[in-house]
Amino acid sequence: MRWSPSRGIKRAAAYEQGGSPVAVEFGNGLHVPIYPESVVPILQKVRALTKPPHDGIFRVDWAGIRTRIAMLPWAPQELAGTTTDRLPVPTDGYRSEAEEYVGLALSLHNERDSYRVVEVGAGWAPWVVMGVALAQRAGKTATGIAVEVDEMRAGWAMQHAADNALESRRVTGNSTQIREQLLENAGNITVVQAACWYEETVLKFPKLTDDDMGGAVSTDKNAHMDYRGAFFDHIEVPTVTLETLLAGDEPTDLLHIDLQGRELDVILPNLELIAQKVRFLAVGTHNRYVEGMLQEHLLKREWALLMESPCTAVFDGVKPTLTGFTTQDGNQLYANSRFRDADPIVIRQR
């Protein structure tokens, strides 16, 4: 169920637009944070009763999701051909930390018979594939969009979907062609080979090695150095906007954004769109400035920050950006107070 903007949201907007100064309130009274003791009960709700075979090449996790380990050069290769019942607390050792799994699990709880997930900066689309697979298991009609700019990694996303018995299609072309193709009916998962940006344009993206998941777009038409200070050849890539990705009447249950430090370029111009369309927002963070700006802009629009793990950095030497110093990505998970159909575990009992 979707609710209209609250007085708090309107006050914050008026203040930013030069209205009379008012006391801006942060956060909301609807949701409660995820405390450590709640993590396991949330994750247990999506535990698989039966698991698919590992076939000697997959890691099958507690939720029954198969991951082709050889496709992920950084993953411990001894995980191939194994099945685990262990929850990913604090981490699973190859995909992510508990915070992102909690966000996925919470997003599956809604009052509809459908589910929708969008993953931006998707890599091999772990969250789209897991979300669609688990929603289907729960009897819902599920769709997902994975946006990945790199051709090889977009192929990984297609493979990961197939490995979990999900249909997928790849959408390519310029920005206009991509937008038009996304209007067409699709199967379970659509992999968009493009960069997510605040406008339809052409950006630059580095040619990466297989094991480098740290690529980020550049607006420099003559780009030769990335945000870490590393030199790469760059290619032109098309963009797709959140307006296109979130189009339609159905809410997006989970929007997952991981853009190697460019998160604010996509989120801040689309704050109202995201507030209208997205139930849960998970952001991979890559510097403290991004983390603080997200808190500043989202909390005063009555989002709740349910969980976070700040990124870590070592400020050694000289880098062209703050993100270049980051050694471990962070995570932030937000819940939207405009949607009241959340899991009771994150709703304040009155």
Q: Is the pLDDT of residue 110 over 90?
A: yes
Among candidates 141, 266, 240, 256, which has minimal Cα distance to 183? 240
Q: Please tell me the distance from the alpha carbon of residue 257 to that of residue 285, in angstroms, as a whole number.
A: 9
* CA 142 vs CA 135, 189, 198, 290, 323: distances in Å: 6, 9, 26, 31, 34
Q: Is the pLDDT of residue 11 over 50?
A: no
- Per DSSP, 5 falls in state P
Residue 187 confidence class, pLDDT cut points 50, 70, 90: confident
Look at 3-12, 81-90, 227-236, 290-299 and tell me which has the smallest mean pLDDT: 3-12
* CA 163 vs CA 47, 133, 258: distances in Å: 19, 11, 23
- Per DSSP, 325 falls in state G
pLDDT value of residue 346: 93
Mean pLDDT of the chain: 88
pTM of the predicted model as reported, rounded to 2 decimal places? 0.90
C-beta of residue 169 within 8 angstroms of C-beta of residue 178? no
Q: What is the pLDDT of residues 139-150, one digit of tens each?
A: 999 999 999 999
Q: Is the pLDDT of residue 224 over 80?
A: no
Q: Is the pLDDT of residue 1 over 60?
A: no
Look at 123-127, 207-211, 279-283 and tell me which has the smallest mean pLDDT: 207-211
Of residues 294 and 73, more confidence is placed in 294
Look at 12-16, 151-155, 273-277 and tell me which has the smallest mean pLDDT: 12-16
Q: Return the ∠ at Cα 190 (arms to 247 and 182), rounded to 5°.
A: 40
Among candidates 200, 234, 199, 242, which has minimal Cα distance to 218? 234
Helix/strand/coil percentages in the chain, nearest 5: 30, 25, 45
Look at 111-115, 154-158, 208-212 and tell me which has the smallest mean pLDDT: 208-212
Residue 169 confidence class, pLDDT cut points 50, 70, 90: very high
Mean pLDDT of 220-230: 64
Residue 300 confidence class, pLDDT cut points 50, 70, 90: very high
- Per DSSP, 72 falls in state -
Q: Is the pLDDT of residue 115 over 80?
A: yes
Q: Is the pLDDT of residue 135 over 60?
A: yes
Q: Which long-range contacts (CB under 8 A, 24 or more apart) does 7-15 make?
A: 8/300, 8/301, 8/302, 9/275, 9/301, 9/302, 12/300, 12/301
Question: How many alpha carbons fall within 13 Å on the CB side of residue 297?
Answer: 16
C-beta of residue 238 within 8 angstroms of C-beta of residue 212? no
Q: Which residues 6+ apart lie within 8 Å of 191 measured at CB?
A: 122, 125, 146, 148, 154, 157, 158, 161, 168, 169, 170, 171
- Superfamily holding 7-342: Vaccinia Virus protein VP39 (3.40.50.150)
Mean pLDDT of 72-90: 95
Of residues 13 and 71, more confidence is placed in 71
Q: What is the pLDDT of residues 12-40, one digit of tens each?
A: 444 455 554 556 789 888 999 999 999 99
Mean pLDDT of 285-304: 94
Q: Is the pLDDT of residue 50 over 90?
A: yes
Mean pLDDT of 284-291: 91
Among candidates 143, 145, 142, which has minimal Cα distance to 113? 142
